[in-house]
Chains A and B, each alone.
Chain A
Amino acid sequence: MSPDRIVQSALLLSLALFVVGVVGVFLRRNVITVFMCVELMLNAVNLSFVAFSRALGTLDAQVLVFFVLTVAAAEAAVGLAIIIAIHRHRDTLDLDAFNLMKW
């Protein structure tokens, strides 16, 4: 594969991964599944960053990936804590059931 071909292919792949994540967020009503789909989308974005890093020949994009990883880790910790706390109160994981703040 020529260099720009592989960058293009990686970008298309990351797009596919991102869209799969989006489909998941649309289709599933379970909080934890939605959470996993968000992780998929973050992974897709990371993959595109790495592809950009390869295309440009610099490492700044890879440094950005580390920040995304940090945010993903923080999000996993706090998000799951919130999910578990809500589960204790409402005894369900269905997103449509969490409508207390809905106007």
Chain B
Amino acid sequence: MNAEAAVFYVLAAITVGSAAVVVLARSLIYSAFALLFTFVGVAGLYLLLGADFLAATQLLIYVGGILVLLLFGVMLTHKLYDLDLRSEVTQFLPGVIVSIGLFAVLALTAWRTDWAGGDGRAPAATTREIGQLFMGRYLLPFEAASILLLVALMGAAMIVRRKRSA
């Protein structure tokens, strides 16, 4: 087993383990903090797969943005110093059966397919090339995404604002 494989297995254990905590934790706040380790683990996997720019983006957007937003959501929808943020686990059996079936089908597909398509080496420096793709081939989706973000920003502000008493 070489170093790359060892790092991969450690990261994989962190990612899937903390993802399991997200799903199974009794308290909502534990789920949220476990999500931090999942995101960091995925960022590490990106690095391992040679996507360094994406790894930094993952940290910045998921950890610095979405997770903080989620924590705000948890704190705003519960009494502030209420430690017991329980939520129930239901529909155990059907859920597990469907999930195992899904995993079996997808895993079989991934395992059977021959992935040795390209040269299999990680692209060297990604930042410049990603920028050129954004400004070239993907310019229209890029602009659409920016409009989507603007609309989401305005929509979120609209929804949460309390109605002014006329």
Chains A and B in contact, CB within 8 Å: yes
Tell me the A residues contacting B by CB distance below 8 Å: 1-4, 6-13, 15-24, 26-30, 32-33, 35-37, 39-40, 43, 46-47, 50-51, 53-60, 62-63, 65-67, 69-78, 80-85, 87, 93-94
Given A46-B42, A55-B115, A74-B149; A16-B88 close (CB under 8 Å):
no
Interface Cβ pair total, 8 Å cutoff: 244
CB <8 Å contact, A73 and B116: no
Other than the given A17-B42, A20-B22, A63-B133, 6 more pairs (CB < 8 A) read: A1-B2, A6-B5, A8-B115, A26-B91, A30-B28, A55-B120
Please give me the residue from chain B that is nearest to A91 by CB atom. B77
Return the contact of A17 from the options B15, B120, B159 (Cβ within 8 A). B15
Given A4-B115, A93-B77; A76-B23 close (CB under 8 Å):
no
Complex Cα distance, B145 from A27, in Å, reads 32
Tell me the B residues contacting A by CB distance below 8 Å: 2, 4-5, 8, 12, 15-16, 19-20, 22-23, 28, 31-32, 35, 38-39, 42, 45-46, 48-51, 53-54, 57-58, 61-62, 65-66, 69-70, 72-74, 76-77, 87-92, 94-96, 98-99, 102-103, 106-107, 110-111, 114-123, 126, 129-130, 133-134, 137-138, 141, 145, 148-149, 151-153, 155-157, 159-160
Contacts A/B (CB < 8 Å), 9 sampled: A3-B120, A7-B120, A11-B110, A32-B73, A33-B22, A39-B70, A55-B120, A76-B66, A77-B156
Complex Cα distance, B24 from A95, in Å, reads 17
Please give me the residue from chain A that is nearest to B151 by CB atom. A74
Interface SS of chain A: helix
